[in-house]
């Protein structure tokens, strides 16, 4: 049984009188531990598809089965739990809370964990070091560069030991060298911890590094 199964997933958006078919009949199986890249033109449905896999956006029709659970058949609480514990998200735009420091932003996903206070602070510091921000632990997002903010968001995605990372252009605003470092970090985590990666990227260089490459074209998906 695949870890993630998409069964004829469709997503349409209504904008005024227009209907946009953002995802069009996607059927896909993803095994645990795969490192998948998704490329495709702007507007081809990549972010929409990632959001559907991440439990953030329900499809118009079709099913998303993760570890044998039809996630959009779950009640709201269980779906939130799925998002919080199973999925680590890195969005196209950094989503840090401006009033919190880097470390506090990392602790945010752990606040609802029952075992609260157990080593999360230490883990947050370790994760920030992993992305080269050991000297920025107490900085607020406004005191960080765009690329540094992005790295905080990357470190945060791993805080709850997710099974699946969905990443939307995670290296979009990083220089080439940092981009390569982040990619090495991802590949290392993928190998060591068996976390599944689904990475949307415009960079064909980065896409090549994946173990499986997909392309989206007008809502449809194809293997490369
Ligand atoms: N909330 C929304 N309401 C209406 N239309 C939307 C919404 N979100 C996305 N769309 C439309 O759905 C289509 C797919 O958008 P999506 O954001 O998934 O594309 P994308 O492949 O991620 O593009 P990009 O590479 O520019 O990020 C586009 O035509 C977009 O305009
Ligand atoms: Mg997008």
Domain encompassing residue 160: 4-223
pLDDT grade for 31, boundaries at 50, 70 and 90: very high
Q: Quote the pTM value.
A: 0.92
User: What is the rounded distance in angstroms from the CA atom of residue 26 to the CA atom of residue 8?
Assistant: 5
Contact 80, 109 (CB under 8 A): no
The total of structural domains in the chain comes to: 1
From 143, 120, 209, select the one nearest 170 (Cα to Cα): 209
pLDDT in tens, 138-192: 999 999 988 889 899 999 999 989 999 999 998 887 888 888 888 988 998 999 9
Q: Is 141:153 a contact under the CB 8 Å cutoff?
A: no
Ligand 2 midpoint to CA 43 (Å): 7
Decide: helix, strand or coil at residue 73: helix
Minimum CA distance residue for ligand 1 atom 1? 13
Residue 22 Cα, ligand 1 centroid: separation in angstroms? 6
**Ligand positioned closest to the Cα atom of 11:** 1
* Binding pocket residue ranges, ligand 1, CB within 6 Å: 13, 15, 20, 22, 40, 42-48
How far does residue 40's CA lie from ligand 2's centre (Å)?
Answer: 9
Question: What CATH number did the domain enclosing 124 receive?
Answer: 3.40.50.300
């Amino acid at each position: 049984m695949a870890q993630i199964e998409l069964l004829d997933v469709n997503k349409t958006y209504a904008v005024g009188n227009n209907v946009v078919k953002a995802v069009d009949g996607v059927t896909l199986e993803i095994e645990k531990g795969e490192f998948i890249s998704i490329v495709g033109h702007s507007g081809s449905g990549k972010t929409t598809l990632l959001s559907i896999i991440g439990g953030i956006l329900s499809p118009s029709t079709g099913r998303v089965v993760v570890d044998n659970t039809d996630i959009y058949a779950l009640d709201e609480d269980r779906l939130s739990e799925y998002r919080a514990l199973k999925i680590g998200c890195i969005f196209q735009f950094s989503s840090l809370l401006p009033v919190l420091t880097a470390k506090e932003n990392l602790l945010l996903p752990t606040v609802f964990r029952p075992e609260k206070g157990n080593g999360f602070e230490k883990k947050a510091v370790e994760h920030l070091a992993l992305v080269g921000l050991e000297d920025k632990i107490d900085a607020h997002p406004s005191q960080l560069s765009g690329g540094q903010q992005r790295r905080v968001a990357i470190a945060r995605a791993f805080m709850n030991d997710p099974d699946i990372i969905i990443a939307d252009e995670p290296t979009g605003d990083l220089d080439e060298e940092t981009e390569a470092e982040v990619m090495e970090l991802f590949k290392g985590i993928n190998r060591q911890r068996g976390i599944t990666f689904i990475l949307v990227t415009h960079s064909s260089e980065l896409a090549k590094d994946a173990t499986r490459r997909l392309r989206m074209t007008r809502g449809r998906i194809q293997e490369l």
